[in-house]
Amino acid sequence: MKSEFLKKRKKWLSILSQSDYGQLSSLYSDLKFADKYEWIKKPEHASVMVRGRIGGIGSQFNFGEITITKCVLLLNECMGYGYVQGRSFDKAKIAALCDAHLQSSHYNLVMENIIQKLEKKKNAEIDLIKNQMASTRVDFFALDTQRTKNQKADK
Amino acid sequence: MYVAVKGGEKAIKNAHDWLAQIRRGNTKISEIKINQLSEQLTLSVDRIISEGSLFDRELAALALKQSRGDLIEAIFLIRTFRTTLPRLATSKPINTSKMICKRRISATFKDIPGGQNLGPTFDYTHRLLDGLKGPKNLVIDTERDRAEDLDMPKILDLLNKEGLIEDQIDTLEEPIDITRSSIQYPTTRAARLQALSRADEGFLLGLAYSTQRGYGGTHAFIGELRIGLVAVNMEIPELEITITVAEIEVTECETINQFTGSKKELAKFTRGYGLVMGQCERKAISMALVDRALRWKELGESYQNVPTQNEEFVISHCDNIQSTGFVEHIKLPHYVDFQSELELVRKIRSQQMKD
């Protein structure tokens, strides 16, 4: 049971972290929650050192850093964690509120109206990139030379 | 005789105010917005990200504006900012084989699984100033250009499976972080890659070119070049889960280089590796060439007394913030130092005249 919950939480936290702030905040305000929450840890900016692998597959090396914002809050006895890319206190707060709601009876409401919509938009963006890239894929044509022309004529 | 002086407050203030005026330019022309820079000068922004070694597009765009477009000044601003951030964690290593590619080509094999995908490249343009053509819609063939068909294995992995290229073994060694501890020579390949990844593009380009022109020479082919989005996964200890905390754009270049072999081992190709934040293709290629050249000792090659075989030379001069700090600092007041030199020369001259 616990692992099933962790698996779902991993997914929604991952979707929230990379979401577009404008979309997240408008979807969240549409739900008109009157949140009474308490800060456990107020939002703060931080960096994460990103690792790469030598040759893509070998030993690790330190590649470079990214900015993130994190916070923790308590909402209706649920601990909400906000870990988001970039430097937006408000985005981290909304992500943490969503995380808390998703542990409550609001699960379906938030899942359907926020998480799934964010995921849909993200998937559409990825599909567009893939389609555009595929449209730049090179088709090679072998050109006829005098020799291949002669060979064809002989047949 | 040197007298302690202070002053210049007014001069400095006016200098900075004038700088701000010039940065703004003609006020009859509308002011440029940060998001215009991050959306329209993307490759300048990417270079600031890569050499500032901090992936944050908005900040990089702000730095570009504040620095009047001086990229090294912008990188300086980013490097300064990053020192103010608490380091929260270290990510899991990114998996570039799962990249959502925007571009992926190989110069060694024509027919590759997933194909040669040019992406938004300057290659094959005529480099003519033709006015700025507005964006056009791509011709997408929905039958042919389907997203789900694009499984793109790493080209070097295919060679690796056949044993034709050196493997890259994960030694599980904890890499040093050159932002936290200074580099000791001889250093490790992991430390070098970190330094090269944040190095100055121009410096790396020049060094890479030198290896091709005969100062060293490791004869590289581009086995694969890919640009795209990768997930950054990080463990959240309190929750006992690993989440994708960010998605970043990176450029990866893997070169296939001249082979080695010995009585004990069959001949096989060797590798150079370039990995750069943002879309920085020229730099990723240069990095891979320089990485490979620096591996001469490990691969048992002879020393040819060229710059790219001297890791201390390359690594300690590749950072443009360190370089510019030291080179440019000599424009700042050195009145005391110079005064002593002046007195010394006068003394020597008067002595010489007596003789």
Sketch the domain layout of chain B as residue ranges: 9-82, 96-318
**Cβ(B319)–Cβ(B195) below 8 Å:** yes
Count of structural domains within chain A:
1
Pairing state of beta strands B100-105 and A60-75? unpaired
**Cβ(A38)–Cβ(A73) below 8 Å:** yes
Q: Does A155 reside within a domain? A: no
Of chain B, the percentage scoring pLDDT greater than 70 comes to 96
pLDDT-derived band at B203 (thresholds 50, 70, 90) equals: very high
pLDDT at A65 over 70: yes
Distance between A84 CA and the closest CA of chain B, angstroms: 6
Distance between B273 CA and the closest CA of chain A, angstroms: 5
Q: Does A27 reside within a domain? A: yes
Distance between A152 CA and the closest CA of chain B, angstroms: 24
pLDDT at A43 over 90: yes
Average pLDDT, chain A: 93
Rounded to whole angstroms, the Cα distance separating B67 from B114 reads: 41
pLDDT-derived band at B335 (thresholds 50, 70, 90) equals: confident
Which of A3, A19, A49, A139 has the highest number of chain B CBs within 10 A, making it the mutation to test binding with B? Answer: A49
pLDDT-derived band at A120 (thresholds 50, 70, 90) equals: very high
Q: Hey, are the CB atoms on A67 and B102 less than 8 Å from each other? A: no
Q: Does A143 reside within a domain? A: no
Distance between B140 CA and the closest CA of chain A, angstroms: 6
Q: Does A148 reside within a domain? A: no
In the block, residue with structure tokens 């005249």: B353
pLDDT at A3 over 60: yes
pLDDT-derived band at A112 (thresholds 50, 70, 90) equals: very high
Q: CA torsion A56→A58→A61→A64, rounded to 10°?
A: 10
Determine the residue of chain B that is closest to A92 in CA distance: B245
Average pLDDT, integer, range A106-129: 95
At B260-287, the pLDDT tens digits run: 666 677 888 999 999 999 999 999 999 9
**Cβ(B48)–Cβ(B75) below 8 Å:** yes
pLDDT of residue B3: 58
Instruction: Report chain B residues whose CB lies below 8 A from the CB of A66.
Output: 54-56, 91, 232, 245-246, 248
pLDDT of residue A66: 98
pLDDT at B131 over 80: no
Determine the residue of chain A that is closest to B277 in CA distance: A64
Residue B94 CB burial class (10 angstroms; 0-12, 13-18, ≥19): buried
pLDDT of residue A26: 96
pLDDT of residue A1: 60
Domain that holds residue A59: 2-134
- By Cβ distance, the residue of B174, B232, B238 closest to A50 is B232
Average pLDDT, chain B: 92
At B52-68, the pLDDT tens digits run: 999 999 999 999 999 99
pLDDT of residue B266: 80
Average pLDDT, integer, range B73-82: 97
- By Cβ distance, the residue of B54, B228, B254 closest to A65 is B54
pLDDT of residue B319: 97
Average pLDDT, integer, range B150-157: 85
Closest to A119 in 3D by CA, of A30, A11, A26 = A11
- By Cβ distance, the residue of B91, B247, B273 closest to A54 is B273
- By Cβ distance, the residue of B85, B190, B277 closest to A46 is B85
pLDDT of residue B130: 79
pLDDT of residue B262: 67
Instruction: Report chain A residues whose CB lies below 8 A from the CB of B191.
Output: 61
pLDDT-derived band at B137 (thresholds 50, 70, 90) equals: confident
pLDDT of residue B241: 94
Helix axes B201-213, B281-294, angle to 10 degrees: 60
Q: Hey, are the CB atoms on A47 and B138 less than 8 Å from each other? A: no
pLDDT at B184 over 70: yes
Q: Hey, are the CB atoms on A48 and B89 less than 8 Å from each other? A: yes
pLDDT at B316 over 60: yes
Q: Does A65 reside within a domain? A: yes
Helix axes B42-52, B71-82, angle to 10 degrees: 50
Instruction: Report chain A residues whose CB lies below 8 A from the CB of B172.
Output: 59
- The residue with greater pLDDT, A112 or A154, is A112
Q: Does A60 reside within a domain? A: yes
pLDDT of residue A34: 87
Q: Does A100 reside within a domain? A: yes
Determine the residue of chain A that is closest to B94 in CA distance: A52
**Cβ(B243)–Cβ(B163) below 8 Å:** no
pLDDT at B147 over 60: yes
Backbone dihedral region for residue A116 (phi beyond 0: left; psi -120 to 50: alpha; all else: beta): alpha
Average pLDDT, integer, range A38-54: 97
Determine the residue of chain B that is closest to A128 in CA distance: B147
Q: Hey, are the CB atoms on B56 and A87 less than 8 Å from each other? A: yes
pLDDT of residue B149: 61
